[in-house]
Structures are given as structure tokens and as C-alpha cells.
């Protein structure tokens, strides 16, 4: 039980702890009551794409293969109408040192920590990012602490999270495992304050700029192999960094017409901070429990301003069910000989459905894979689901009900996506923006311009929505 006085005292020091542990004074970028200079915040780090690529190359990060999934594309065309069925490629990020694209995020954070003479790094994550930070820290000779939300009040841990704990410890990191609840951020702040280590947050500019190399690389690779840029890139969407960094990298490669589609597993109805719901979800990342709140208000994070701002960059946002992702995971293994973990297969499942909408000469790229292991395998996750009372069955994925029923398709033609209404998301974002204002604060023209950029809309749209909210 956290001592309320200690908790309040620590929270009162939050801003200073963050400033010291990240090495950034976010206040210098504030330009309005809501607005801040986003591009200058990123540019002031000094990491352009070329610099980031060179840093990542030193630790064997990046330059991962681009693989055409010819057998899966053939299956798509069986299910699609004549003339439809785009070519599907995948960027095999499992080839990175710790087995996921998160190595790109960790590489710049750990490099920055080393440059600023920090002796260690801290990351709060239950996912692959902890392993990536631990791996990069090991190469840099820095200590590493990972604070992980790992189990429910009964001590039951998801096998995928336990897998990631083992990975972090395997790279020499200290892992502080906590039960689900509000103490995660408290313990994270406490560790930063007591150790003086660098905050390798998922949401700093360093973390997001590290992903730009992914978008840049895949654009160049597709152009080299196919003489054109990809028509569509699909990114699994959680906290927003994946979508943001990939889209920015695509633009820097000149792929300005490539559509960026965000894909999440539908876990609607489950609360991510609920002890009851924690183990009734079979995915620890890439799901709507993160993607929805982070899209509608990205600054709900462990730094003053989130560098991952997905709504600025997504052209479309779709969801897919748990059963469909498990199904496509098995298809990938049996048709392409690739066993990969669940996160990247979220966007692969979406790609399978969206490819059927496009002509055969079009190109879709699934921009990441991740390693798999005993804890990440679908059987492990499904066995836990059954243990928690979730029904697992074959049938129509439309009958899926998060936390109660996982429906695995009986035929690939049953894989479909559900579009998220981006207008609704924009209005929700603007609603949160207005709620964040303190008494007496008013929006300036700079704030309106910022909100238009944030929602990828116009000043007129922003003003109309705000007027309607009032």
C-alpha cells in the first residue's frame, strides 16, 4: 500500500524529476495554453534520419529484410473478387537484436543517455520495449531497470508478459514486477529519483525519431524492389509511436502519397487498469485499450509532451478481432514458414482484409514483425484465456466479445476490418483539449493552428467543433 503522503510528495516533484531524467526542458517549447512547437522539439535533438541510421548501425539495429508474402497474397486472391488482391510485403523487424522494432526506439534513447553521461536507464513497460532497452543498455555498458505491470491481484501473469520478463532479465536488466494498478507510475518516478538514471520513455523525441528509420528504410526497399513506393503501409497502433515514426520516415523518403493505416485489436469493453480485466485480454499491446485513449489525448504519458502523436499521421484507423490475429499468426507460419509474435500480426490480419479492396498491382507493407517464444505463442495466450473463463471457439469473428469470447475464423474469407470513425476521434481529441484548460484560459490563434495540425483538419473545423462543445 502506497503511503498517501509519500505519494503526494513524490507527485509534487514530478516535473523536476522528468526534466532531470530526460534532459529536456519541455517548457521552452510551449507556444500557447495548449500549443507547443512539436517540430522544434524533435529537431532540437539533432537526430535526423541519416544520423539515426548511423547510430543504429553501430549496434546492429535496422536494415531488416523486406519479404514479399507470395503465398499469403495468393490466398488473398482466392478470397477476393477477380482482379483484386494487392501484393503483401512485411518488414521483418524480428531480425533486430532483441527481436522487435522497439530496438529502433531504444537505440537513440540509450545513445542519448550515454552521451549525457548517465550511468543507467529506466523504462516502464510490460512489452518488447523493456527487452530492447535492456539489450541496447548491455551493449552500451549501462545499467538498466525495467518497471513492469506484470500480474493481477491473484498473482496470475500473462504468459506473454512473463516471456518479456525473462527476456529483460536475460539481457542483464533488473525487473521490478508490479500488480496492475496506479502504483506503476509512482514506482517509476521513485526509481528515477533514487537512481538518477535516464528516463528511456516510449514517448520522448528520441524514442519516436528512432522509428523514422523504419519508415524510411521500407520506402527505399519497396522502391528498389518494385520501382514504386508502397500504396499502403499498415502499422499496429498502441501508444502512437509506431504510426508517428513510420509515417514521418515515409515522408522523409519521399513517399508522400503512401497511405498510413493504423490497426488495433478490438478490446472494447475491457479496462486496462482493471484487476478483473487485466488477464481477460489476450494481447498486451496493439489494442484499443491503448490506441483509443492515446489517439484522443496523447499527453496522458510519463513525459510532459508526447512525441508520438498518431492522429496527425493516420489516413485510416481499423480494428481487428483477437481470433483473427491468432488465425493469421498460424497462416503466416504454415504458408510462409515464419513464426512471429502477435503484435505485428495485428497489422498483417488487417492487411489480409484490406488487400482484397485493392487491385492486384497495388502494394501493401506490414511494417513490422516481432520475435515469438513460448509465452507469446497463441496456444499460451488461449490457454490462459480458458483459465480465466473466456470461451474459445471456431466460428464467425463477428461473434467475438472481448473478455468473454474469442472466435477464431473457420475460413480466411471471414477476416475483415472495422473502420474507426476518424471524425469522432477528432471531436473526442478536441473535447479533451477543452477539458484541459484551466479557469480563465482562452485559446489563441496559435492554439487553433496547433489543434488543426493535431487533428489533421482545418482551423474552421476546429472552431466549429469547439463552438459546438460550448
Looking at the structure, do residues 157 and 249 belong to the same domain, yes or no?
no
Distance from C-alpha of 57 to C-alpha of 62, rounded to nearest angstrom: 7
Looking at the structure, do residues 37 and 71 belong to the same domain, yes or no?
no
Supply the pLDDT for residue 469.
Answer: 87
Quote the domain boundaries for residue 179. Answer: 20-54+100-205
Distance from C-alpha of 253 to C-alpha of 101, rounded to nearest angstrom: 18
Looking at the structure, do residues 375 and 263 belong to the same domain, yes or no?
yes
Out of 377, 399, 418, a domain closes at 418
Looking at the structure, do residues 256 and 333 belong to the same domain, yes or no?
yes
pLDDT per residue of the chain (470 residues) written in tens, 0 to 9: 455 557 788 888 888 998 899 989 999 999 999 999 999 999 999 999 999 999 999 999 999 999 999 999 999 999 999 999 999 999 999 999 999 999 999 999 999 999 999 999 999 987 799 999 999 999 999 999 999 999 999 999 889 999 999 999 999 999 999 998 778 888 999 999 999 999 999 999 999 999 999 999 999 999 999 999 999 999 999 999 999 999 999 999 999 999 999 999 999 999 888 889 999 998 888 999 999 999 999 999 889 999 999 999 999 999 999 999 999 999 999 999 999 989 999 999 999 999 999 999 999 999 999 999 888 999 999 999 999 999 999 999 999 999 999 999 999 999 999 999 999 999 999 999 999 999 989 999 999 999 999 999 999 999 999 999 87
Q: Is residue 362 part of a domain?
A: yes
Looking at the structure, do residues 390 and 455 belong to the same domain, yes or no?
no
Q: Are 204 and 124 in contact (CB under 8 A)?
A: no
Number of domains into which the chain is organized: 3
Q: Is residue 429 part of a domain?
A: yes
Q: DSSP character for 438?
A: P
The single residue listed with the C-alpha cell 522539439 is 41
Looking at the structure, do residues 331 and 431 belong to the same domain, yes or no?
no
Q: Is residue 403 part of a domain?
A: yes
Q: Which helix (H) or strand (E) holds 336?
A: helix 322-336
Supply the pLDDT for residue 5.
Answer: 59
Q: What is the pTM of this model?
A: 0.96
**Residue 88, phi then psi, degrees to nearest 5:** -110, 125
- Locate 266 and state its grid cell: 478490438
Looking at the structure, do residues 451 and 411 belong to the same domain, yes or no?
no
Out of 185, 205, 225, a domain closes at 205
Pairing outcome for strands 259-265 and 316-320: parallel
Q: Is residue 318 part of a domain?
A: yes
Looking at the structure, do residues 285 and 370 belong to the same domain, yes or no?
yes
Distances (CA, A) of 413 to 84, 189, 246, 328: 14, 48, 29, 12
**Sign of the C-alpha dihedral, residues 100, 104, 109, 113?**
positive
**Residue 67, phi then psi, degrees to nearest 5:** -115, 130
Q: Are 285 and 131 in contact (CB under 8 A)?
A: no
Supply the pLDDT for residue 1.
Answer: 45
Q: Are 406 and 391 in contact (CB under 8 A)?
A: yes
Looking at the structure, do residues 221 and 354 belong to the same domain, yes or no?
yes
Q: Is residue 465 part of a domain?
A: yes
Distance from C-alpha of 458 to C-alpha of 425, rounded to nearest angstrom: 15
| CATH number of the CATH domain containing 128 | 3.40.50.1100
Out of 376, 395, 418, a domain closes at 418
Q: Is residue 355 part of a domain?
A: yes
Looking at the structure, do residues 106 and 87 belong to the same domain, yes or no?
no
Q: Are 89 and 363 in contact (CB under 8 A)?
A: yes
Q: Is residue 15 part of a domain?
A: no
**Residue 461, phi then psi, degrees to nearest 5:** -60, -50
Three-class DSSP category at 87: strand
Supply the pLDDT for residue 4.
Answer: 58
Looking at the structure, do residues 161 and 128 belong to the same domain, yes or no?
yes
Looking at the structure, do residues 323 and 251 belong to the same domain, yes or no?
yes
Q: 14 Cβ partners below 8 Å, 6+ apart?
A: 189
Q: In three state form, how does the secondary structure of 125-179 look?
A: CCCHHHHHHHHHHHHHCCEEEEEEEEECCCCCECHHHHHHHHHHHHCCCEEEEEE
Supply the pLDDT for residue 15.
Answer: 84
Q: Is residue 7 part of a domain?
A: no
Amino acid at each position: 500500500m502506497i503511503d498517501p503522503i509519500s505519494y503526494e510528495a513524490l507527485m509534487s516533484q514530478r516535473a523536476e524529476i522528468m526534466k532531470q531524467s530526460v534532459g529536456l526542458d519541455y517548457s521552452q517549447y510551449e507556444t500557447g495554453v495548449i500549443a507547443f512547437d512539436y517540430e522544434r522539439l524533435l529537431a532540437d535533438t539533432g537526430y535526423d534520419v541519416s544520423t539515426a541510421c548511423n547510430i543504429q548501425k553501430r549496434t546492429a539495429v535496422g536494415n531488416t529484410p523486406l519479404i514479399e508474402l507470395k503465398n499469403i497474397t495468393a490466398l488473398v486472391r482466392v478470397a477476393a473478387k477477380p482482379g483484386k488482391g494487392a501484393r503483401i510485403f512485411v518488414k521483418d523487424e524480428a531480425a533486430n537484436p532483441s527481436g522487435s522494432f522497439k530496438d529502433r526506439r531504444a537505440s537513440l534513447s540509450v545513445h542519448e543517455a550515454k552521451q549525457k553521461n548517465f550511468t543507467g536507464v529506466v523504462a516502464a513497460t510490460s512489452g518488447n520495449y523493456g527487452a530492447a532497452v535492456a539489450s541496447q543498455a548491455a551493449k552500451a555498458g549501462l545499467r538498466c531497470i525495467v518497471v513492469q505491470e506484470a500480474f493481477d491481484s491473484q498473482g496470475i501473469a500473462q504468459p506473454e508478459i512473463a516471456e518479456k520478463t525473462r527476456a529483460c532479465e536475460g539481457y542483464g536488466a533488473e525487473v521490478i514486477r508490479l500488480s496492475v494498478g496506479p502504483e506503476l507510475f509512482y514506482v517509476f518516478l521513485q526509481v528515477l529519483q533514487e537512481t538518477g538514471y535516464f528516463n528511456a520513455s516510449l514517448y520522448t523525441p528520441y524514442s519516436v525519431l528512432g522509428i523514422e528509420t523504419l519508415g524510411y528504410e521500407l520506402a527505399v526497399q519497396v522502391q528498389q524492389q518494385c520501382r514504386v513506393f508502397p500504396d499502403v503501409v499498415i502499422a499496429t497502433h498502441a501508444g502512437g509511436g509506431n504510426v508517428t515514426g513510420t509515417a514521418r520516415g515515409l515522408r522523409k523518403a519521399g513517399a508522400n502519397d503512401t497511405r498510413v493505416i493504423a490497426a488495433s485489436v478490438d478490446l472494447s469493453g475491457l479496462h486496462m487498469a482493471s484487476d478483473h480485466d487485466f488477464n481477460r485480454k489476450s494481447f498486451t499491446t496493439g489494442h484499443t485499450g491503448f490506441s483509443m485513449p492515446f489517439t484522443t489525448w496523447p499527453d496522458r504519458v510519463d513525459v510532459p509532451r508526447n512525441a508520438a502523436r498518431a492522429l496527425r499521421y493516420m489516413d485510416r484507423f481499423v480494428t481487428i478481432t483477437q481470433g483473427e490475429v491468432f488465425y493469421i499468426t498460424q497462416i503466416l507460419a504454415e504458408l510462409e514458414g515464419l513464426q512471429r509474435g502477435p503484435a505485428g500480426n495485428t497489422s498483417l490480419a488487417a492487411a489480409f482484409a484490406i488487400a482484397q479492396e485493392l487491385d492486384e498491382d497495388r502494394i501493401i507493407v506490414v511494417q513490422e514483425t516481432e520475435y515469438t517464444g513460448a509465452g507469446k505463442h497463441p496456444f499460451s495466450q488461449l490457454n490462459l484465456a480458458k483459465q480465466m473463463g473466456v470461451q474459445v471457439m471456431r466460428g464467425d469473428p463477428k461473434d467475438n466479445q472481448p473478455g468473454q469470447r474469442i472466435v477464431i475464423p473457420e475460413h480466411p474469407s471471414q477476416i475483415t476490418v472495422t473502420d474507426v470513425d476518424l471524425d469522432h476521434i477528432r471531436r473526442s481529441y478536441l473535447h479533451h483539449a477543452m477539458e484541459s484548460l484551466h479557469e480563465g484560459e482562452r485559446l489563441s490563434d496559435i492554439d487553433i493552428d496547433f489543434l488543426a495540425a493535431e487533428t489533421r483538419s482545418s482551423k474552421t473545423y476546429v472552431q466549429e467543433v469547439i463552438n459546438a462543445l460550448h
